[in-house]
A and B are shown apart, each in its own frame.
Chain A
Amino acid sequence: MSARLYHEAILAEARRGEGAGRLEAPERVVERDNPLCGDRIRLEVQLRDGRVVALRHTTRGCLLTRAAASLLARLAPGRTPAELAELDRRLEHWLAGAGEVPDEALALFAPVREVSSRHDCVRLPFMAAAALAREEAS
């Protein structure tokens, strides 16, 4: 099961590290920790008309978190924070075994569904993105 978890697509996505780095003058910054292991992600975001136009992340985490952060960087542009929060909600449900994969790009995490202790590794970047919406709401 674990070896299947670390299939080539996940390894490649983690190595790709899309969006890794900092924005020069980020409009919004959120940080999120995984209390289980101390992993941390920092998102820096630029918005225009309420939609993400640029997202960079600094990720200190396992391969799953790094792959998920890379995918978030690809999926976030054009979406609103509320839509990213919805993406996280659907990702949580899908990982838990309910519903459809929220975006085909995330289907590479299918083997993680069987390993509940690692769901939050995948979700950490998306939970950080969802925090953007909560900040807006408050």
Chain B
Amino acid sequence: MRVDVAVLRRDFPIFEAQPAPFHYLDSAATAQICRPALEALCRFEGKARANVKRGVYRLAEAATRAFEEARRQVARLLGGVDPAEVVFTAGTTLALNLAAHGLSPRLGPGRRVLVSVLEHHSNLVPWQLACARTGAELVAVPATADGRLDHEALERLLDSRVAVVALTHASNVTGAVSDVARVARAVRAVGAVLVVDGAQRIPHGPVDVRRLGCDLYAFSGHKAYGATGAGVLWGRRELLEPFPPFLGGGEMITRVTLAHSSYREPPHRFEAGTPPIGPVLALGAAARWMMAQDWQALRAHEEALTRRLLAGLAAMRDVRILGPTDVGERIGVVAFTLESHHPHDICQLLDERGVCTRGGHHCAQPLMDHFGIEASVRASLAPYNDEADVDALLEGLETVRRILG
């Protein structure tokens, strides 16, 4: 079925608020919030605000119920997992730091952590820190020339020394989607744990994490049509169970004396203090919105736009596309360089035409090194984009070339 973008945009208040021209092509950084998520956030903060998990009055009980309902909605988005396996965090970064902390007891001298060259800094730096703390060795898995995970190289690196493999599901630069199921089988064969950064993949449709076969999966609400401030770490119950506490505080304990504390079961053990309740409720509403969409149609829509964008860029002189050109292997996240023009100069001039893109290293400096560049321009698509957005970008680039020479 064809996607009617005008109808779909009614679900996104930003399109009523922003003056034309408005071509939002930075959803990989932050997607626009969908109306149900915004309403859930506003309803809670304005009409139903109370803390969760403690109060006995009706308002607090309702807040707790809504909070746990959000957990159930996220569990559905992840393929119908056990809601107790869904840990709410402040975002992907905190989720991956929690993963690195929780898996640290498995690390030590002689043990290895594999990370790919494709990783966002948030799925690299926590592992650098964990390795420095424990004496484990961090080993890089290379990428292919067109910015995909080198699956063969990864499989060659897998042996009994490997304790953790941490990979992005989809690159925030090249858009390449890794074959996580294939990786998971190989990782399981050596008894290691597979941590997946799903921040870029989740906004492109629900993910069945059990079917993928990974052990931990992280993502952010604000990239998945929710509010900023909430994210998720999903983990297999048997894996989360022995994780040591991460942040200490209220809500995560069973009993505290001056000398000692005992801790609750997951997920509450990892949700110290007052959680970001409004953003979590928004995330739950966004997950429900996502589950109501026809992702087969949206995927076809995204592929058509990605094809149009890739073809338009490929037809331009001195444009270098960073990523696979086969739309079947990628999401609609397209990074490129234009001659030797600096990405910030390009993005600034595109903004003049209402085209919102991202320029920089995209928090993926090792991948920039892989391509032999410092930075790139990135256009990222979401269901609410249309042909006019892609064309505005392509026409804008011609203007950039004219101005910058």
Contacts and interface: CB of A to CB of B under 8 A. Distances in A.
A118 B360 contact: no
B344 interface: yes
Contacts of A63: 342, 345, 404
Contact of B344 (A1, A11, A60, A121): A121
Interface string B328-366: 000000000000001111001101100000011100010
B173 to A, nearest CB: 13
A3 interface: yes
Instruction: Please classify how large the interface on chain B is, using the bins under 10, 10 to 19, 20 to 34, 35 or more.
Output: 10 to 19
A137 interface: no
Contact of B352 (A1, A36, A37, A118): A1
B403 interface: yes
Contacts, number: 50
B26 to A, nearest CB: 13
Contact of A38 (B345, B351, B374): B374
B352 to A, nearest CB: 4
B295 to A, nearest CB: 34
A6 interface: yes
A115 B351 CA distance: 12
Interface in A98-138: 115, 118, 121
Interface in A23-76: 36-40, 60-64
A125 B167 CA distance: 37
B287 interface: no
B375 interface: yes
A9 B367 CA distance: 35
Contacts of B361: 37-38
Interface string B238-276: 000000000000000000000000000000000000000
12 contacts: A6-B345, A6-B349, A11-B404, A37-B342, A37-B344, A37-B361, A38-B368, A38-B374, A39-B375, A61-B342, A64-B345, A121-B344
- The list of the 4 closest CB pairs from A to B, nearest first, reads A62-B342, A2-B352, A37-B360, A62-B344
